[in-house]
Structure 1
């Protein structure tokens, strides 16, 4: 079975990080859990260090969440790498078991699943992102997999690079575009909710930030030498509408 590394970036996350840590600790398949902290001033590090399963902790200033993720990837020793934000948590204790099963096939470079957005107290689902199967032109029609559910072989990062810090909030979109479209790595869809994400976190942007992100989405295609369809960038946020129903 492939070894898995999980990267969690934290910064002043004391109130929520315990559910993230518990969800990794309780998995039926163990993982190397790496915490990259941005120099928290609250009790985040005390909480982290109370969980014995955590393999590595780094706390220092950084250049944002994607810089922290890059640091974590550089430290990871697992065959497969996943990213789990400090306010997110796995949907059940068999998530990493399902992921591990997929990667027993050596031809699989990556995998992803479904995502649920939940209220800050995690009692209610407000949005269900059913990702579905990726097809050859899916990205051109505004599709993308939910990044918190995206697991990738470490060798893919070594071949094709880490997060591009010049892409702002679209860094995850650019990375998946680079991996799945430009370099055509293989992927597998797991038809289960893998991650629950609290609303109000770093990935839940305001309208102003969404407009800025649209510009970065276009740049993501450009830096990879790819040309989207005329409607690709507009279709991407529009696809989210159905996730609320």
Structure 2
């Protein structure tokens, strides 16, 4: 099964070098699509000189979710995943394992674990986002898989659409709710770390962003019909605390 990986970039140098190399070293070669927002640093030059990047575009956009939407529309793979420009796949066989799980289980969606790592030392784990096998009632408790670990068949996006650009921070949560509340889709949990994410994501950069994230999470819950969104939001925020205690 051909995998398409989408990377959104904007002034992502030098981290983009590690992201590209992480994908280039995979034992099976994906289609790697980079959607750049018009970088002014060395990002674009790095992309242009990489032999492993399948396609790229560089133009102004409306943010990361707009870039990911462009990537989904460009993708030719049977399976679509995301690797952000600051992130790394955890091993050279990660994509091979994911493709095997899709084949062996007939899954529509495969997801796994994620670790937040130090910005400079990517071997230093700060938080461990350990997921679990999916059950519908988890959504009511604010659960979601780590979005960068989620790989879905093209048909899933054809059915559920693109990221909702009315969300500035929580469009990934909205997308996860749309996908995971669909009982017709087979979701398979791969109990291993798929992605190593550098700390410093947009939703946690400031108190203002944290409050905006909660507001948008609440709106996503109501949009997707969760019955008690205030309770779900509280559970969602509290569920992050064990990530600081668990080690990979």
- TM-score, normalized by the shorter chain, greater than 0.5: yes
- Quote the residue 1:167 is aligned against: 167
Once the two structures are superposed, what CA deviation does each residue of 1:175-204 show, in whole Å capped at 9, x if it has no partner?
A: 010111146522111111110011113353
- Quote the residue 1:150 is aligned against: 150
Q: CA deviation at 1:106?
A: 6.7
Unaligned runs of 5+ in 1: none
Matches within 5 A, 1:1-245: 2-105=1-104, 107-121=106-120, 122-182=122-182, 184-228=184-228, 230-245=230-245
Q: Distance in 2 between matches of 1:210 and 1:145?
A: 19
Q: Distance in 1 between matches of 2:197 and 2:105?
A: 30
Q: Helix, strand or coil: the match of 2:126?
A: strand
Once the two structures are superposed, what CA deviation does each residue of 1:203-234 show, in whole Å capped at 9, x if it has no partner?
A: 53433212211111111122233423541111
CA contact (8 A) 2:109 2:185 kept: yes
Residues 211 and 30 from structure 1, CA distance in 2 versus in 1: closer, same or farther, beyond 3 angstroms? same
Q: CA deviation at 1:93?
A: 0.6
Q: Helix, strand or coil: the match of 2:28?
A: coil
Q: Distance in 1 between matches of 2:241 and 2:198?
A: 18
CA contact (8 A) 2:202 2:209 kept: no
Q: Distance in 1 between matches of 2:43 and 2:209?
A: 27
Which deviates the most, 233-242 or 98-107?
Answer: 98-107
Which deviates the most, 68-77 or 219-228?
Answer: 219-228
CA contact (8 A) 1:90 1:195 kept: yes
CA contact (8 A) 2:89 2:195 kept: yes
RMSD: 1.4
Q: State the number of aligned residues.
A: 244
Q: Distance in 2 between matches of 1:224 and 1:134?
A: 17
Q: CA deviation at 1:133?
A: 1.4
Q: CA deviation at 1:84?
A: 0.5
Unaligned runs of 5+ in 2: none
Q: Distance in 2 between matches of 1:212 and 1:81?
A: 28
CA contact (8 A) 2:222 2:229 kept: no
Q: CA deviation at 1:110?
A: 0.5
CA contact (8 A) 1:87 1:201 kept: no
Q: TM-score, with normalisation over the residues of structure 2?
A: 0.94
Q: Distance in 2 between matches of 1:123 and 1:226?
A: 37
Q: Distance in 2 between matches of 1:185 and 1:236?
A: 23
Q: Distance in 1 between matches of 2:162 and 2:107?
A: 19
Q: TM-score, with normalisation over the residues of structure 1?
A: 0.95
Q: Distance in 2 between matches of 1:237 and 1:226?
A: 16
Q: Helix, strand or coil: the match of 1:138?
A: helix
